[in-house]
Every structure is written in C-alpha cells, then in structure tokens.
Structure 1
Amino acid sequence: MTRQRIDFEPGGLSGKERRQGRRERASDQRHHDAPRTQPRERALPEPAVSGPFGPGLAESGYWNLAPVNVPPHQATSQHVAGIYPFVADAGLGHRGPILGVDLNADALWHFSPWETYADSTDRGSFSTNVLVLGAYRAGKSAVIKTLVSRSMAFGHQAVVPSDPKGEWRAVAEAIPGGNVIRLGGAFDTRLNPLDRGPRRTGVSDEQHEQMVKQRRITVLTSLVQAALPGAHLSAVEHAALLEALERCITHTGDRPTLRTVFTELSQITSETDRDRHLAHGAIQPSFVLRRFVNGDLSGLFEDHSTVSFDDDAPIVVVDTSELFARGDLVAQLSQICTTAWNQAVISDRDAHKTRYVIREEGWRDMTSLASLQMYQQWLKLSRHYGISNIVILHKMGDLDAVGEADSQERNLAYSIAGDIENKFIFRINQQESASIQQRLNVPPAHADMARQLRKGEFLAYVGQYSYLVDAFATSTDWEYELFKTDDAMELPGGSPGELQYFEPHDLDSVWPVDSDVDGWLTSSKELK
C-alpha cells in the first residue's frame, strides 16, 4: 500500500498568494528529500513468529523494511472526491418533507411518494403506495405519523378509514382543522356504507351510475363473505343481493341502507312461488345483514349517515377503537364499511388532491375474495386518484389470517403485499427473516440487518435503491409526545416523555465491525 501526499488550496486566494504557497511547499519537500549526512539508525526487523498467517510472518501478514517514497499529488476537491467513490449515496434529493437521517450518507432523507413517482430516473418509483412492516414497538406508527404530519405543509391530506387503537385521534385533534369521527361506545354516530358519495368530476351520467352501483354491490358481497369464513357467495346468492339492492334503490328514491336491503332480502325469501331459487339464495345474506339491524353491529351502519366527510380537512380519522373490543369479526366488518364510506369521497381524480390513506392492520381489509379484489383494484388505481395507500403490517404472517393455506385468497393477499414497490422495513423478529426474503425478495444481508434495527430506524426500498434511515434523529419533543403509541414507549437509554437523540454515524453499537453486513453500511447498493 502506497501513501500519497495531497495538497489543498483554500478558495479566494490571489494568483500571487497561490504561487508563493507552492514555492514554500516545494522547498519543504526538497528539504525532506535531501540526502542525510548522518546515517539513520534502522531498527532490526521483528523476529519471525508462527501464527495463523504462517511461519515467518508477523501478525500483520508482511514486513515493510523500507518506506516507499511517492511524489505528492495536487488536485482540486472535485477530483479528489473520485479517489474514494461510492462512500456516500446521493439519496432521493431534497423534494418532499424530511423524514429522517440517511445513515449511509450522513445527510437528511426526504421522502414523498408523489415526488418519487414523478422521478423518471432509476431512483423513481412506479407506485405511490407504501408497505410498512415491523415488529411491535419498532416505531412504525410514530414514523408514519411523522411523515403524514410533515407532508401537510406540502399540501397533502390524510385519511384513516379505521383507527383501531385510537392513536390517530390525538394527531387529528392536534392539527388545526382535523376531523375525528368516533364510532361505538357512547357515540350515536352512524355511517352508511351505501352512500352515493359526491359525483366524480369529468364523468358522464352513465359512468357515474355504474361506479356507484359497482361500489355498493362490492360492499354488500364483502360484508356477507366476511361474516361467513371460508364460504363463497354462489351465483344465486349474488343475484339475490343485487335484486334486493335494485328494489331498495327504487323504493327509497336512491337512498339505500343496510336496513332497507335487509327488508328487501326478507321479502325475497318469502317469494318461493315467484322464484324458488332466488328465494333460497336470499336466506344467507339476510341472516348476515340481520346482525347490522338487530344484532351486535346495530346502531352503526344500518341507517343513513349522521356525519359527512369533510373534504377540505387536512386529516380525517374514523375512530373505531370502541368497536375492536367486540372481537375480530366485528372489527373486520366495521373496517369494510368505513373504508367503503371513505372511498366514495376520495376517489375523485379531477379534484386534484393528494391524500395518504393509512390502513392500520391492513390485513383486515383482505378478509374475503371480493374484498381482496376490491383492495387490489384500489391499489392499482391509487396513482390515478392521487392517493398513497400506506399498508401497515406487524409481520408477513398477519396475512395467514386471510383464507386457508394455499387458498386463492391467501395467495392473492401475499401477492398484493409483494407488489407494493415502496417498502419500509423496521425491526423484525427472528422468525420473520426467512419470510421477508421469500415474500418480499429482501436480500439475506438486509434481513439480518433488519433484526438489529433500533426503534425508529428502517430499511427503505424506493425504486431500485435501498436506504438506511433513522427517523427519530430529526424528531422534536412535540412530535415525540404526540406520536408515541403508549405510555410505556421508551427509546433506548431514555424514559417515557424524554426524547433521546443519537448520532447518525454512531453505528458500532448496533453493527460490530466484523459483522457480515458491515460492508453494506458504507453505501446504498442498487437492488437487482
């Protein structure tokens, strides 16, 4: 290994000052290279040792008996940067809100799904959707809340169709103009999932009617199939639902509700002399909708909406935390209703609005084949509507709750998650390593690294590149207090309510120098 001397000259010097400095350095170099009048004492080489490197070799692996004299090299800082290429990555640029610190480049990391979608380079993305994956208390929700709240300064809005833990309610209440809709418990709020919703801009009457009809029948079929695990609607049952909906639209002046659809289904079951097959097909759907009218889901979705969607609010949150105490099935049915109610409003492309749709416990939107197909279609059309769906999962195993093993439903659920191009992977558990490699095509070195991430750190996959980001490094005290998910939340070395800051370049405590993945930390590597 040779040593080179590199001289730097500060900017702003005159020509005379530059020439004088070069003469002084040249004089010093000649004095250094001049022959010595007295012989130098040379230390004897260390005795040979035997070790893992072989007999006669020192621990360093070789003897260097005489220094190598290499002439100095002069260059500008622009050229010197080429001596050590790829040490720091260029990142995603400075468009969009700051989300954290890029630990590879030791620089601020900006992210906006709409900016990356507009980027035509290989750092751009073909989708605005984001998959967020990580273990409990890895910092997922706090980071997404940071992204959403900071994005509002850029004109973006946010919708949380179902807030199962009541975490987003505090965020909406803290943001001026935020709108919170609370369901269940002591609240008499009702949402009608069969609302027409506002007319979409730039479509004909026929197109608008077709879209409203399709959304309504999809909601009905999703509700029935979710309440009948493992069952699929037959053609006759689907026809009975459609017949009941059409009758209801006619009898109510195009203001259908789950209650009136249930009434029409009950009427169809008694018409055995008119159409025996249709009457039989209406039995199962009528029993499911009966739960919304007289059962454990009554008082929530069976009648006309008592609130409206504030289209101009920076954030709209539907707080369903009271409903989740009733069980998983109630939570799934409620999430289908609230999601459909929100989608009727936000799927207007010509409104020229960009919104985040945060899907906490996103697997609950994939409870049946009908809901999965609607979910997949919604993700595909997200960029068309100016929407960024943020799907949050604790682990890939969450999707095992969808359908049976090797069923069409479960395979479709895994396919939907894997097709989301932008991914934020937080700390994962030991058993999750193989799953993300197989399902998300994550390199083994990255999977090992994900097991050692600290709270608030995540691997970001955007386009063809990956980044190591620390989101909590830029958090403020106000954000930390607002975004923490529970009173027990504590950063390493801190206490509840106390924000700890970490140096982005202090990585030795997380990844040992001799770690197999240590080399990856020096640069962001392109994923092939």
Structure 2
Amino acid sequence: MPDIRAHTSTFYSPADESRAARNAKRGAARRLDRTARLRQAGLHDDAQAFADGHEPKSLRASSERRGQSLRALRRLRLPSHRATSDVLSGAYPFLAEAGLGEEGVFVGQDAWSGGGFCFDPWVLYQRGVLTNPNCVLAGAVGKGKSCLAKSLATRSIAFGRRVYVPGDPKGEWSVVARAVGGASIQLGGGSPNRLNPLDPGPRNPSLPAEQWRTVVATRRRTLLGSLAQSALGRALTAVEHTALDVALDTVVRCDDQPTLPRVVQALFEPAAGQGGASREELVSDGREVAHAVRRLVSGDLAGLFDGPSTVSFEPSLPMVSLDLSQIQGSDQLTAMVMTCTSAWMEAALTNTDGGQRWVIYDEAWRLIRQPALLARMQSEWKLSRGFGIANLLIVHRLSDLDAVGDADSGARALAQGLLADCSTKVIYQQEASETPHAARQLGLSVTEAAQLPELQQGEGLWRVGQRAFVVRHLATDGELDLFDTSARMTSRPNGMPVSSAEVRGNLS
C-alpha cells in the first residue's frame, strides 16, 4: 500500500486578540456588507440602522439571514406533487369536502367527511351553485330511493315548501300526504272522483285577459297533441293537427268548460269546414285521432276524465297526491293517465305567487318512454324556475332514457336534454352492468364511478352541480314506519309487522 502522509501546520493568531474580538470583527464585516446591499437596494433607513449597529424594528421577509431569525433570503419553494385522494389522505388526513352549508333540509351524513349533509335546491340556486332546481333520483329496487324522496318532501314542509305528486301509480304517497295534513285524491277502482284535464286552473292575476286565454289554449292544445301521439305511437300529421285544433276551438266556443268527450265528438262530427278543410276532409283527417283519444273516456277508464271535475285542487295544503293505484292497464295507458292527472294539477301550479314547491314524478320511467309526453315534461322543466318549482324525477336506472326512440332520433335527444336540465343527480346503487352507462351519462370520474356498485342500502352518490358527495340517508323510526314500501315482504309469517328498529338494522 502506498504511504499515507499527513500535512499539518500551526494556526497562529495575534496574541492580543481574543475570540470575542474576532467574532466582533467578523460581525462588523458582515454589517458593512449588509449595509452596502441595502443601500444598493434603496433601503436607506435599514442601511443606516445596520451601519449604527442597530437592527431595524420591523423585519421584512428577507431582511435577515441569521439562522435564529427563522427567516431566509429566499422563500421556500418545493416542487409540486400530484397524487390521488387516497394517498394524500394518508399524508394529511384532515382534508374533506366542506359540504353545501347548513341551510336547508338535513339529509344525512357525508360518508367522506363524516359531517352532516343538508340540501336545498332553492338556496343553492340563489348562491349560484345550481343552474336550475330540478333533480333526478335513480336507484335499483329496494335500495332506499323512495325513502329518500319522501324524507326530502316531508322535511321540506317544515321550511314552508309544499309538495305535489301528480301521479302515484302504487299509492305509496297517500299515507304520507295524510300524515302531514295533506290530501290524497284517489282515481279509479269505483271512486266517484273525476278530473277534467282541460280545466284552465286558477287565473294568473299578473296576465291580461287576452294573454291568459292564449296560455290556456296553448296548454290544452299541447296536452291533446301529446295524448294523441302517445296513443297512436307516432307523430301527428299536419292534417291531423288541423283536425284536432279545429275540434278544440269548436268546443271552446260553445262551452266555457271543454271536456275530452266533447272534443272526441267534435272530431267524429265536425260542425262545418274550417282551417282550409271541408267538413268531409276534417272527418277523414281526424278519424284516427278521435279513436285514439276516445280510449281515455270509454272502456275501463270511463268515469275518470269524461266530464267536469268533481274534486278541487287546494294548493294551500302541505301535500297533495293523486292515487292511481286502482288503475290497471298497459304502460302506455298508465302513462296517458299520468299525463292527464299531471296536466290537471300543473294547471293550478302556474301561479307565480304559489311559493316554492316540489313536484315529484314517481315511477317516471313510464312517462319518459313516450316521446310525446317526454316533450311535454321538458317544457315544464324549462318553466320551473319562473314558477318557483323544483321537479324531482324518480327512475330505476339512467338507461331508461335509452328506451326512448332510436339512437339518433329527436326523442332520444329530448330524453338526454331532460337529464341535462337536472342540476342535481342522486344515484343509488346500480347493477355492475349499469355503472359504465351511468358514468357516461353523468360524466363521472373514475373514482366516482367506482363507488356506484359498492353503495350500501340508503347510500347515494350526489352530483350537485360539479361537486360530488357520498351521503348516507338518516331516517327516524317514525319515518321508517311511515315510508316503508316493503311491509308485505318484511312481515313475519304470523302477519305481525317488523319493527322500525329491525328495519334500521337492515339499512345499516
């Protein structure tokens, strides 16, 4: 190995200079250098203070370089780092969504933050979080979406809102309406109640008489056209539109309270030629339309819509529902009935002084499968903000919208537009096969889409504007007893019902 040599020397310092003196000399040199730097930077006051041996009273972010000052000449700069929320939660576990605020209806618990979750479409619209108050609620059968809808409705009443259910095919809302001091109007099944979907409703005092007549005429014409197209399963031709308009105008001129039977009779037997067509041409052009609309005033639906209304709509009640559980028939016929009942109720909701109201379309998959009825619903969606109405559309799955028309048809575009006009989307557990479709429809991120198949009963993914939450709906024992839609499935063999505590245990 080569020799290792150590080179040493002796450190000499003046004998009369102590360590303190040397430190003082080095400090003076640093002050001179610092003073020159400050004067060069234009900080003359600080420079003079350093020259006199005094430190300035106020320190800037880079005014000292001593380690004890806890300040540095340069700001701390770290390279940016990107990671998933799962990784960052381990590095700093105190980051969570702030929520939507404490105003509005308490829904439950935010599963990601553990805090309470409140929702109010009117408050959020005022804040600019939402562009419209409409909502869509989708979820597989038995996952708790009906319980959530009823909880939102009944809790909103405490905030001064009213709730209307234009069509209740299963009769689940009747007991809820009566429990909160509202009313349930039953149709069919031998009930003497009768509705006239052509009722004008209470007049809007802000509109002049001529404008009000135009609004009512347009509403009636739109309703009849939707019913005819739904019954025929196709769009009306130009001559059929003319025949229907002429029949409606004839009935309105002769009677202040037009009814569906009178319109059908005018289609079969027009009084005279009008609208550029002779009487014989009107009979021929409107024959198929007359037979289509006739289904609503004869046969198994006789007595429902074949005369003036025998019940009145009381908008001051906290909740009003129309019970259609006794009406049996095809989905097409049920959809037509729901259209008539919703038109009758909506005619009373056009008053802008009616306050803020929920309009809930339960089992709406029946309606959206009919293109003509879907177009009418979209029109109502567009007008909801002007009337202070928040529409809630309840379906089983978002793929129900794909059952409307062909892929490139106008009907499919209407269905997608209806979903786009809902700023709030609540998705309960979906089947694994439905998850990719729901993710595409709602524009969910990969993390959000992964939550859908794993949601438990009572849990839902809320998309409120551009923000997402996983919320566990919390219901009281009284609500569970009132909202239970599976009493027959959960009752014991001896007929005794299952207690709310056991139901709550199943929900957890």
Bin of the TM-score, shorter chain as denominator length: 0.7 to 0.9
1:188 to 181, 185, 192: 192
Question: For residue 219 of structure 2, what is the amino acid of its counterpart?
Answer: R
**Distance in 2, Cα, partners of 1:489 & 1:384:** 43
Question: Does 1:278 pair with 2:282?
Answer: yes
RMSD: 2.5
- CA drift of 1:292 comes to 2.4
**SS at the partner of 2:425?**
strand
**Distance in 2, Cα, partners of 1:213 & 1:167:** 34
- CA drift of 1:437 comes to 1.6
**SS at the partner of 1:167?**
coil
2:471 to 450, 469, 472: 469
**SS at the partner of 1:100?**
strand
Question: Does 1:287 pair with 2:291?
Answer: yes
1:436-451 equivalences in 2 (<5 Å): 436-451=438-453
- CA drift of 1:499 comes to 4.8
For residues 198-238 of structure 1, the C-alpha deviation after alignment (integer angstroms, 9 at most, x for no partner) is: 00131111211111001101111111111112x11011101
For 1:313, the equivalent position in structure 2 comes to 317
1:25-174 equivalences in 2 (<5 Å): 84=92, 87-120=95-128, 124-174=129-179
For residues 406 and 495 of structure 1, do their structure 2 counterparts lie closer, same or farther at Cα, with a shift above 3 Å needed?
A: farther
**Distance in 2, Cα, partners of 1:228 & 1:86:** 59
For 1:52, the equivalent position in structure 2 comes to none
8 Å CA contact retained: 1:361, 1:392: yes
**Distance in 2, Cα, partners of 1:246 & 1:391:** 33
For 2:58, the equivalent position in structure 1 comes to none
For residues 360-382 of structure 1, the C-alpha deviation after alignment (integer angstroms, 9 at most, x for no partner) is: 12233335444333211211111
**Distance in 2, Cα, partners of 1:407 & 1:188:** 41
8 Å CA contact retained: 1:160, 1:357: yes
- CA drift of 1:174 comes to 0.9
For 1:348, the equivalent position in structure 2 comes to 351
For 1:33, the equivalent position in structure 2 comes to none
Question: For residue 417 of structure 1, what is the amino acid of its counterpart?
Answer: L
**Distance in 2, Cα, partners of 1:500 & 1:365:** 31
Question: Does 1:483 pair with 2:483?
Answer: yes
8 Å CA contact retained: 2:401, 2:412: yes
For residues 500 and 255 of structure 1, do their structure 2 counterparts lie closer, same or farther at Cα, with a shift above 3 Å needed?
A: closer
For residues 122-161 of structure 1, the C-alpha deviation after alignment (integer angstroms, 9 at most, x for no partner) is: xx11110011011111100101101110110100000000
1:326 to 318, 325, 329: 329
For 1:497, the equivalent position in structure 2 comes to 500
- CA drift of 1:84 comes to 3.8
For residues 437 and 269 of structure 1, do their structure 2 counterparts lie closer, same or farther at Cα, with a shift above 3 Å needed?
A: farther
**Distance in 1, Cα, partners of 2:283 & 2:190:** 38
For 1:339, the equivalent position in structure 2 comes to 342
**Distance in 1, Cα, partners of 2:403 & 2:364:** 12
1:298 to 298, 302, 305: 302
**TM-score, structure 2 length as denominator?**
0.77
**SS at the partner of 1:461?**
strand
Which structure 1 residue ranges, 5 or more long, are not aligned? 1-72, 74-82, 507-528
**Distance in 1, Cα, partners of 2:354 & 2:298:** 41
For 2:417, the equivalent position in structure 1 comes to 415
**SS at the partner of 2:185?**
strand
- CA drift of 1:452 comes to 1.0
- CA drift of 1:401 comes to 3.6
**SS at the partner of 1:305?**
coil
**Distance in 2, Cα, partners of 1:352 & 1:162:** 20
1:512-527 equivalences in 2 (<5 Å): none
For residues 460-487 of structure 1, the C-alpha deviation after alignment (integer angstroms, 9 at most, x for no partner) is: 1112211111013xx1110001011111
**TM-score, structure 1 length as denominator?**
0.74
**Distance in 2, Cα, partners of 1:329 & 1:269:** 31
Question: For residue 424 of structure 2, what is the amino acid of its counterpart?
Answer: N
8 Å CA contact retained: 1:270, 1:279: no
**Distance in 2, Cα, partners of 1:459 & 1:290:** 44
Moved more, 125-134 or 291-300: 291-300
8 Å CA contact retained: 1:292, 1:299: no
For 1:225, the equivalent position in structure 2 comes to 229
For 1:198, the equivalent position in structure 2 comes to 202
2:458 to 426, 432, 456: 456
- CA drift of 1:193 comes to 0.3
**Distance in 2, Cα, partners of 1:259 & 1:500:** 48
For 2:247, the equivalent position in structure 1 comes to 244
**SS at the partner of 1:145?**
helix
**SS at the partner of 2:360?**
strand
Which structure 2 residue ranges, 5 or more long, are not aligned? 1-69, 71-90, 491-496
Moved more, 459-468 or 394-403: 394-403
Larger Rg: 2
**Distance in 1, Cα, partners of 2:359 & 2:446:** 31
- CA drift of 1:297 comes to 1.9
- CA drift of 1:295 comes to 2.3
- CA drift of 1:85 comes to 7.4
Question: Does 1:179 pair with 2:203?
Answer: no
**SS at the partner of 1:125?**
coil
**Distance in 2, Cα, partners of 1:224 & 1:143:** 35
For 1:77, the equivalent position in structure 2 comes to none
**Distance in 2, Cα, partners of 1:430 & 1:269:** 59
For 1:210, the equivalent position in structure 2 comes to 214
For 1:51, the equivalent position in structure 2 comes to none
8 Å CA contact retained: 2:296, 2:302: yes
For 1:510, the equivalent position in structure 2 comes to none
8 Å CA contact retained: 2:369, 2:400: no
**Distance in 2, Cα, partners of 1:159 & 1:389:** 10
Question: For residue 434 of structure 2, what is the amino acid of its counterpart?
Answer: E
Question: For residue 222 of structure 2, what is the amino acid of its counterpart?
Answer: T
For residues 352 and 326 of structure 1, do their structure 2 counterparts lie closer, same or farther at Cα, with a shift above 3 Å needed?
A: closer
**SS at the partner of 1:481?**
helix
**Distance in 2, Cα, partners of 1:91 & 1:400:** 33
- CA drift of 1:104 comes to 1.7
Question: For residue 430 of structure 2, what is the amino acid of its counterpart?
Answer: I
For residues 275-307 of structure 1, the C-alpha deviation after alignment (integer angstroms, 9 at most, x for no partner) is: 443222110111112222332321111211010
Identity value in percent: 38
- CA drift of 1:385 comes to 0.6
8 Å CA contact retained: 1:269, 1:280: no
